[in-house]
Structure 1
Amino acid sequence: MVVRILFLSDNFPPEGNAPATRLHEHARRWVREGHKVTVITCAPNFPEGRLFAGYRNAWRHVEMLDGIRVVRVKTYITANEGFLKRTLDYMSFMLMGFVMGLFERRPDVVVATSPQFFCAIGGWALSVAKRRPFVFELRDLWPASIVAVGAMRKSLTIRLLEKVELFLYRRADAIVSVTRSFREDLVARGIHRDKIHVVINGVDLERYEPRSRDASLACEFGLEGKFVAGYMGTHGMAHALPKVLEAAEFLRERDDIAFFFAGAGAERATVERLVVERGLHNVRLIPRQPKERMPALWSLCDLAIVPLRDTPVFATVIPSKIFEAMGMGVPILMSLPEGEATAIVRNTRSGVCVPPENAEAMAMEIARLADAETEMEQLRRQAHEAAPQFSREHLARSMTGILEGLLR
């Protein structure tokens, strides 16, 4: 069965964050299987709120990427910080995605993704206008995560957002959750289990595989001969990165250990300021990098640091970077509340876990692993062996199976 998929997402390559990567890696496989995929998105600007080179914020621009038809629409652009401005950004995409979607050929199914659900509102409205099934891809429990990171307190606004959230869950013909924990949360709130499917994040094994350390990059960033603990990805409010810097401060006398940060986001300026203020000569900072360069950057890392703040909602999430680390054969250091993600790492024996926001425990474990060559070799092997069960190839097929099921 050939499925015509209309997918709304306000992130898409050349942006390299988790939503953009997941959609691209799924969609190019759907195209390979013969499905027709149109993605409605905006001009790439995440997370700095600046247009990527070669793009403009046009009313409508159509391009082809790996066989995927990409329709970019004009939106209000701002950096990934500040609730009000980001909400205006989200709402502008909701409106423009819906309006421009009306001019698209009638699809078989409309899919829209979170983390925020304004995108999903646009997708639901399009599904009504096109009289086609609506699928809500649930990537985050928004607005709960807003409260969890301290961006907003419980208030009338949050309660109104929660009502909209539940409305969308009920109106969706299917919900595709990226974690089992999200599914259980929805069931507890009265959403029928039968329409909630789980397709977790994964890794593109065509791109991410073990490789020798890139010698030229190691030289460029002063990482030669170092045990490198790396943080790759968005520098956001959820990630407790000041605590990682505290761990670096504990280890500043270990000349053989370095911390390596690559990315951008709302907390990037804070990270840069703290590194200067504390004189952390053992920390290397580089800006957000193109997706194509990420495997080479991962090759510099002996250990992947995966931190989140110590709040219950983060026990329900699975950071997607753990799967890239597995693909590269890089052991994982988890520092987040016990839950689904820590269970994956423990069950696959692909890394170690320390309590969230505990800088001293993180530092002690990094120092211990830097001196444990035999254990590190075993963790590298186990991480790589775990990766195939999280292959994007398999996960993409799982999702098309869900979409096809709505059309039978």
Structure 2
Amino acid sequence: MHIAVFSQYHTNPDCPATSRHYALLAHIARTHRVTLITTRTWERQRLTQEFPWLPEGVEMHAAQVPYHNKMGVQRRALAFGQYAAYALREGMRIPKPDVIWGISTPLTAAWVAAQVARWRRVPWVFEVQDLWPAFPVAMGAVPNKWAQKQLFTLEKNLYQSARHILPLSPGMTSYIRNLGISEEKLTTVLNGTDLDLAARATVATVAALRQQLQLEGRRVILYAGTFGRANNIPMLITAAVTLAASRPEVVWLFMGHGYEESLLREAAITYPFIQLVPSQPRHAVFTWFKLADISIVSFLGMPVLDANSPAKLYDSLAVGTPVVVTNGGWTRDLIQASECGWYSPADNAPALAEQLRKLFEYPEQLQAAGRAGQEMAANTFDRQKIAATMQRIIEQAAE
């Protein structure tokens, strides 16, 4: 079977990114022909050369479209349009696929998948990674009411035209269901994590990293991910300053890049207990998570963000590091039910600092939560199992 995949961003484990689709494509390409239509945005951002850029068996068509998180709204929109134009052309040139897999974000990538599917008379499957346009509208990126209405209409039309829809969280599934989309078309497929890469985080590698960073005798809190406006980085800095008054041995590590990077650089200069860590390749990030006593998954207190499926949540639990989440959606329910982490209200730095202070007083609680999270990750978050589910759904859609 020939599967055409429309995804604006392709990464591999050498990149400072989650590389979700690298694992999924590698699994599916063992038994099916896969054509990936993407861009070279991340290829130049590889930090190592340990992995092939493409999984074996995947054929790539890639456009040269610049993109980074610091771009403004208009520049991002241009990048989305450039990819859409390229992908539309390539989608009509490649040999006719049996099924199309469209991956959003951005929504324009899913739109292209739908158009090519319609013109070539094949079914398509819609993978929803984030709620677009609900998220950019909530963040003020689309102030025009007419444009908002057009985007929401487009979104619903895409849901209706897809043979099957794959949201990355229960919260996204509920959102789509509430738009009137049939339950039979929906399958929640979690973001997941790479357990084979997580296994590289051994006691020896963690000890070496701790020595390298001169963190012997220190407690470590890790935030790893995008420093975006939605991630509430200023609140985390305030919480770090508040916590330092009672727990001076605690060090906060911030790993990643994005909009708030300059703010974090200033904080790292001002406060010795805040350290800014360069982005790490995917295959190395698990050692940093295992080094930490606690990791933080933070977002602004906006309902649309409660549906997120953040990679840092899965990666932390995979190595036995408990998490504190600040969004009140399905992730809060998950960690509380599984006893692998804690919830602290978004936008409340004093509450987060107090929560962390209490946790460090009871290390046995941290250890128990870490074990519970690691067990859940092995049973539920394995991307190899998720890839098998994805393949089954795509095969059924083609039938």
Instruction: Specify if TM > 0.5.
Output: yes
Q: Does 1:44 align with 2:41?
A: yes
Equivalent runs, 1:310-389 vs 2, <5 Å: 310-336=301-327, 338-388=328-378, 389=380
Q: Which amino acid aligns with 1:257?
A: V
Match for residue 260 of structure 1? 253
1:287 matches 2:281: no
Change (3 A) 1:323 1:72: same
Equivalent residue for 1:180?
170
1:115 is displaced (CA, Å) by 2.2
Q: Name the SS of the counterpart of 1:216 in structure 2.
A: helix
Q: What is the CA-CA distance between 1:295 and the residue it aligns to?
A: 1.7
* Residue 8 (structure 1) aligns with: 6
Mapped partners of 1:203, 1:406: distance in 2: 25
Moved more, 83-92 or 71-80: 71-80
Question: Contact 1:251 / 1:363 at 8 angstroms: preserved in 2?
Answer: yes
**In 2: Cα distance, 1:205 partner to 1:233 partner:** 18
Structure 1, unaligned runs of 5 or more: 55-61
What is the SS of the residue equivalent to 1:65?
Answer: coil
Stretches of 4+ aligned residues off by more than 4 angstroms: none
Query: Residue in 2 aligned with 1:273?
Result: 266
* Displacement of 1:258: 0.6
2:145 alignment partner in structure 1: 155
Residue of structure 1 aligned with 2:106, choices 112, 116, 128: 116
* TM-aligned CA deviation for residue 363 of structure 1: 1.0
Residue type matched to 1:255 in 2? P
Q: Distance in 1 between matches of 2:279 and 2:92?
A: 34
Q: How far apart are 1:116 and its partner, in Å?
A: 1.9
The alpha-carbon distance between structure 1 residues 197 and 357, as it changes in their structure 2 partners (threshold 3 A), is: same
Q: Percent identity?
A: 25
Task: State the 1:78 CA deviation.
Answer: 4.8
Tell me which residue corresponds to 1:29.
Answer: 27
Question: What SS does structure 1 have at the residue aligned with 2:181?
Answer: coil
Deviation of residue 53 (structure 1)? 6.1
- Corresponding pairs, count: 390
Contact 2:41 2:67 in 1 (8 A): no
Q: Secondary structure at the match of 2:198?
A: coil
Which residue identity is paired with 1:376?
Answer: L
Deviation string 1:60-100 (CA, Å, 9 cap, x unpaired) is xx974343323221224454431111111111111111212
> How far apart, in 1, do the equivalents of 2:85 and 2:317 lie?
38
TM-score under structure 1 normalisation?
0.89
Q: Which of 375, 378, 382 in structure 2 is aligned with 1:391? A: 382
Greater RCO, 1 or 2 (C-alpha within 8 Å, sep 6+): 2
Q: 1:237 and 1:289 mapped to 2: Cα distance? A: 21
Aligned equivalents of 1:154 and 1:103: distance in 2?
A: 35
Check 1:184–1:251 CA distance in 2 against 1; reply closer, same or farther (3 A cut): closer
Partner of 1:206: 196
Partners of 2:57 and 2:233 in 1: how far apart? 38
Pick the aligned partner of 1:71 from 48, 53, 61.
61
Structure 2 runs not aligned, ≥5 long? none
Q: How does 1:84-233 map to 2 (within 5 A)?
A: 84-153=74-143, 155-209=145-199, 211-212=202-203, 214-233=206-225
Say whether the 8 Å CA contact 1:74–1:96 is kept in structure 2. no
Indicate if the aligned counterparts of 2:267 and 2:274 stay in contact, CA closer than 8 A.
no
Q: Is the contact between residue 76 and residue 92 of structure 1 (CA under 8 Å) also seen in structure 2?
A: no
How far off its partner does 1:274 sit?
4.1
Closer/same/farther in 2, CA of residues 308 and 154 from structure 1, 3 Å limit? farther
Distance in 2 between residues matched to 1:146 and 1:154, nearest whole Å: 12
| Residue 39 (structure 1) shift | 1.6
Letter in 2 for 1:256: E
CA RMSD of aligned residues (A): 2.2
C-alpha deviation, 1:229, in angstroms: 0.6
Shift of the 113–251 alpha-carbon distance from structure 1 to 2, 3 Å rule, reads same
